[in-house]
A and B are shown apart, each in its own frame.
Chain A
Amino acid sequence: MTVNRKWTSGMASTEDWWAVWLGLFMFFAGLASIGDVDLVGWMAKTKTWTDLSKSLAPAGKAYADWTPLASLLMTYAVFTVLTGIGAATMKLDVRKFLLGWTTLFAITWVVWIVGHEAHLAAPVNKWEKYGITWGLSLGGGASYILALAVGLVIGNFVKPLARFLQEAAKPEWFIKTAIVYLGIKIGVMSMQAAGFAFELALAGACATFVAYLLFWPLIYALARKAFKLPRQWAAVLSSGISVCGVSAAIATGGAIRAKPVIPVMVSMLIVIYAMIELIVLPGFYTWAAPDQPIVNGAAMGMTVKTDGADAAAGAILDELMRAQAALAGVFWEEGWILTASIMTKIWIDMFIGVWAFLLALVWVYKVERAPGQRAIGPSEIWLRFPKFVLGYLLCWFAYTAIALFWPDVMEAARVGAKTVESPMRKMMFMLTFVAMGVITDFAKLKGMGRLALLYGLSLVFIIAPTAYVVAWIFHRGMMPPTVAG
């Protein structure tokens, strides 16, 4: 039985808070490099390879004498202990979790290494270095696409394995942890381009606000007028499609006191459609607007529901667009396109508490007014606030503060930060891709009929085009900083 009463409810028992703890644990471990101690350099990282024995290496220079296998085993040990503690306090079945986690970890690393084979990953300007004459030049995108494909095959065609992995397949936990690590990356990027980072944050906030005001009423009107859905179904579906997916469906369902079956049904649709968006949109945006990297990223954040699918789509878009630009001799810095997609999504996530609060007031005092029902407390906003955002902001601002106030320790701080924001973050992304594929079963679309049709139409004719126009209005002209090829 889980009842949230206090502001501290869920700190030890929810994935959202555990993303903060896992994120901050590595954030503080990374900061130790300021004192010349590298506590995170043991982390294994993948390298583009033609010789398999050179596909892995420890991330930190202080661990250069470690073998790749020792580094990988240490990575497994540390993350198994940390996620195992999380699983225990979240009251998961720890035995099942550890078995599932170990298998998921192994699949993830095999796919990650394979995806870094030079013919798949090496950019065109590095072919000579690897001694190859052809390749797909997908960068890190090859691993992401492969991980998603492997996850989807397991989730849809190897269902006994999917069930075995289910206790450990937690894409939202993994991606929220990755987003906290991404806060470090944005902090580090802000050291060089603080103005651009804040401009991106501000543009993202404005775009999100405008998009909210357009999406929700349009979808609600369509659901009520054209599809004749009851009020509660229309409201939950509108939030799910137009705001932040499953968490919005749950928040809205709670706010309007809907039967839990309504957000459950809507959430099943959201997870499936988010996967379809993730498969289609990165390639489509790269093909349709190769010269609009930041607009594409921001539009992605407003279109793709669920944090996992959005971050995953943003990561693929980042890789595909940079690979495409590299063919034309333009080398954008890694991470800015992904950041644009995460930035709009995080604003959307943060706003859901306020939106649900407003809906609750309208419902309790107007739509379903009942005698004896007391006022809705603003504590509901906090209880619905996405806590991982706190970790993300703390990491971002901490590294920005280091750059501003203690510039002499910046180089030392970068040593730990680099490991956490790159190989650790990417590992959490890879785990997310595989886990998301594992829990996505397209067969669940069967029998959803009218709801599925409404979702599809809304997505294609309202959400995607409106999001793109709004993203273009607020982000046009913004380009990622370039780096040397």
Chain B
Amino acid sequence: MKADVELVLAHDGERWIARGGPIRASGRTLGELDASVAEALRAAGGPVGPRVTVFMGFDFDTLPRWMRQYAAHYFNRTVTVEV
């Protein structure tokens, strides 16, 4: 499925962070993050419509290097936000 916006997702120990191009959003929960993404999209003047599909690909480099030999994938998510 083609998304309108593609972002990279990471976690800094306290907050989820989604970034890509001029967009940078964060939240303590994924729900908060989605709201922040909608706000950032509005502020950046990117794709606007009643509903925008956003793909967030998890940056696996977020996990410590010693763990990466055991698995190579965490998760990706696609959400629809109201802009």
Chain A residues packing against B (C-beta within 8 Å) = 1-5, 9-10, 14-16, 166, 170-173, 245-247, 250-251, 253-255, 257, 259-261, 263-264, 267, 306, 360, 370, 372-374, 380, 383-384, 439
Contacts and interface: CB of A to CB of B under 8 A. Distances in A.
B39 interface: no
Nearest to A4: B73
A1 B72 contact: no
Interface in B58-83: 58-64, 66-82
A15 B69 contact: yes
Nearest to A353: B73
Contacts of A373: 77, 79
Scoring B8, B74, B79, B82 by chain A CB atoms within 10 A of each residue's CB, the highest score goes to B74
Interface of B: 1, 8, 11, 13, 30-31, 34, 53, 57-64, 66-82
A472 B64 CA distance: 38
A246 B67 contact: yes
Scoring B1, B11, B58, B71 by chain A CB atoms within 10 A of each residue's CB, the highest score goes to B71
Contacts of A14: 68, 72
12 contacts: A1-B59, A3-B59, A171-B69, A172-B70, A250-B67, A251-B71, A260-B11, A306-B70, A370-B34, A374-B78, A384-B73, A439-B66
Nearest to B78: A374
B8 A372 contact: no
Mostly helix, strand, loop or mixed at chain A's interface? Answer: helix
B64 A2 contact: no
B8 A3 contact: yes
Contacts of B64: 264
Nearest to A19: B69
Nearest to B13: A261
A321 B73 CA distance: 38
B57 A374 contact: no
Given A260-B63, A370-B34, A372-B34, A5 B57 contact: yes
A254 B70 contact: no
Scoring A172, A247, A250, A380 by chain B CB atoms within 10 A of each residue's CB, the highest score goes to A250
A373 to B, nearest CB: 5
7 tightest Cβ-Cβ pairs between the two chains A and B:
A3-B57, A254-B75, A246-B70, A254-B74, A172-B69, A250-B71, A383-B73
A360 B81 contact: no
B73 A374 contact: no
Given A3-B58, A9-B72, A247-B71, 19 more contacts: A1-B8, A2-B60, A3-B59, A4-B57, A10-B72, A250-B67, A250-B70, A254-B74, A255-B75, A259-B11, A261-B11, A263-B67, A264-B67, A372-B34, A372-B80, A373-B77, A380-B73, A383-B73, A384-B71
B76 A5 contact: yes
Contacts of A15: 68-69
Scoring B13, B59, B61, B67 by chain A CB atoms within 10 A of each residue's CB, the highest score goes to B67
